[in-house]
Chain A
């Protein structure tokens, strides 16, 4: 307390007139600390193994809380579905939650919830996963339940019907949300005739084709040892975890990794398209500008990422947020993103503004995109983009769950296992010229798709100077 009072007095003195020269320079005028490199994965807590049937095992010990998460992640996801069965992966994982082993839907839910655990089963474009999280003292039960859900789902006809109807109804409900309408229309414009063009959960037409048999078949093909990674994160000893994995998954069918889906068309769109989804009742329009981006494994992904930080991925460091929000007050949020999948996913700028300002916002975005090519990131922008990405990367790996998810992602995409450890070095090694080149190579404002959700009557005149406007109903 005494020491505190002395420090306080010192602080007040520093603020007193006449003593200004004694004050140290503000911290914001000092150079930022040097960027750290080096390994980030806690090797002493990480354990890997491969079972005889090819199942990869990843264990990350963390005993700070008595929590345990276990699960199975797949190396393939929605992208392998046939086009006319869109929604198959999502419906399969959903119905897996509705009865497994000796338990029907209600009994399964009760058993899980009795121990305060949570079950998740989801499909993404390139992976799917089933996971259970609970307390480590319930480890036995968590392993039993996981093995049932992964290996012995019931796929009862009544549950399939129920889940399919819910999905169809939820797809209808999403049309009440302007952001969902925007995403859906954008996918259609960018990927006609491709799986990427249909919502992840499918569409009513394709969902109606799915029955219990289709789900069982898909499950049999995807949920096999060679296509899977078992993970355990949390309060568990590695020997113990490995013994339980062997007991529950040692005799799991080996199978094979399915072929990935077909590559999408590039370039997409071939020429500029402007599409308005007509919602006469909205006071704010949702806006996206998009074209093809790059894949998760693109060798130029780090320069692309740095370029995108300067463009619209770095919050107030980025040109888009500065121009459209900070300077002009035209939106609450604007950003740009390369959605990296196994195949080139979209590059998209998305934002929203009051209806009368849509033309102005779209023109501003196009201008900023052009400027990225004609006036590539300067030395300052480049330096800040690097320190932003390196710093954000480290903070993003604060939890063991995040580290495990990062390692699984590398496996799913066949990227080197040490990629997390080498990331900061790779970012620092990137040159300003590589970033400028990424802008020239990857941005195509002249043929970018422009999709707007809002009242067509008010939007048409604002957008027509930019090209032909197509209007569609939600």
Chain B
């Protein structure tokens, strides 16, 4: 189902941050992505093909370089448009794209982030010709009517209610981004503000489509078990006739300097308060990125990490606590998240959390912690599953962000080079109190006190301990 991906982007980072760096040991790593072929069509469309016959599947992904950061007037239009892409052409009735691929067992979906809109199909090899033609058909001939738009807006508003309005975590992150970014369009939620989504017209959609869905703004990646020459020929036939667009408008706004901490309080009917915070951090690809990832590992990579030990285990104030680096094309954040226990104290959690951040600035991390965090990242990079989908996403993501595919070996080198001094340096450069934005989600004052849950440690009678 087409989905909004702010959450997805965070999820990816969380998985990444919790995933391993012992100095010295270097397992033999085969990087299948090294075999990627890059082809550019005359109209500017880039096609990445990566043949890996060891998987029975193929993943076809179309990455359009447009996200919520590019929205000028109506927030949420990139995501709303992602939904509209499923609503048919003159030759294909609404949803038939999805039905045709699903009927063969394929997975069809799409997501929108701050930076990109991605359409993807995971299929058996014999469905690749179908998928190529279906994607080309909607990029060339998408039909946008008032009637279909009206019903799709309702679907999107349900998605918004689900992910932000009725979700305490969704609310927290929506507020955090709007607080941390005062000027940059990363401040708007990818799904858009309700009133903007309601106001979008078919004409606005058509203009958006013409502006951004041009071949020179699209990267196609195909990975898995398929014949690359045949696929390229088909892609040329299907997409070659699209016309390039002379200029693709981008939002010029840069983030303004923050002078002092920002805070926001949200009252919701919650038992578990939520602490969310963020510091400004560099954009993706920055040389400081690996050290920030290592800092994240020291803070929350597993049950030996500092935040788990302190907030979850020793003080028993939080159900979960993590800090992670979130990198986007034009800026980044280092964010903090803690789910406070219903019997816990959010102020105490905040003090503990920020103490640990201050400790990163004050003293170098121990050699054991450094090695552990690096090893976790390394193992995660090496051992991650090379499904057709994962490969196609990796090469397209790299190409869109960097114009090339970063070899695994290069990424590993980047992490292996991180020192304790680097971690301390990035903590001192970025994780400073003046640059912090903090959101608390708590129950409104005066709300009915909760029934106190049973106290921890109250061991029932008749349970002698014998070990």
A residues in contact (CB < 8 Å) with B: 4-5, 7-8, 10-12, 14-15, 26-28, 30, 32-33, 64-67, 97, 105-106, 109-110, 112-118, 133-137, 154-157, 161-162, 164-166, 168-170, 172-173, 175-178, 204, 207-209, 211-214, 279-284, 314-317, 322, 325-333, 352-354, 384, 387-395, 397-399, 401
Contacts and interface: CB of A to CB of B under 8 A. Distances in A.
Contact of A114 (B92, B130, B375): B375
A116 B316 contact: no
24 contacts: A10-B237, A26-B91, A28-B96, A110-B372, A116-B376, A137-B25, A154-B467, A165-B455, A172-B450, A173-B271, A173-B272, A204-B454, A211-B465, A213-B465, A213-B466, A315-B108, A317-B103, A322-B95, A329-B150, A329-B151, A329-B153, A394-B56, A398-B387, A399-B387
**Interface of chain A, main secondary structure:** helix
Interface string B275-303: 00000000000000000000000000111
Given A317-B102, A352-B162, A391-B104, A326 B1 contact: no
A166 B319 contact: yes
Interface in B160-196: 161-162, 165-168
Given A332-B162, A354-B158, 7 more contacts: A28-B130, A65-B385, A109-B303, A113-B304, A116-B376, A316-B95, A392-B107
B158 A284 contact: yes
A8 B155 contact: no
B455 to A, nearest CB: 8
A66 B151 contact: no
Nearest to B122: A395
A212 B463 contact: yes
Contacts, number: 279
A175 B271 CA distance: 8
A27 B166 CA distance: 42
Interface residues of B, number: 116
Which of A8, A14, A177, A390 has the most C-beta atoms of chain B within 10 angstroms of its own C-beta? A8
Contacts of A329: 150-155
A170 B450 CA distance: 15
B383 interface: yes
A133 to B, nearest CB: 7
Given A161-B457, A162-B456, A279-B269, A316 B98 contact: yes
Nearest to B54: A64
Nearest to B224: A398
Contact of A388 (B102, B238, B387): B102
B100 interface: yes
B42 A332 contact: no
Nearest to A166: B319
Contacts of B344: 169
A118 B17 CA distance: 13
Interface in B222-272: 232-233, 236-238, 240-241, 268-272
Top 4 A-B pairs, shortest CB-CB distance: A391-B105, A116-B20, A165-B456, A116-B379
Nearest to B385: A399
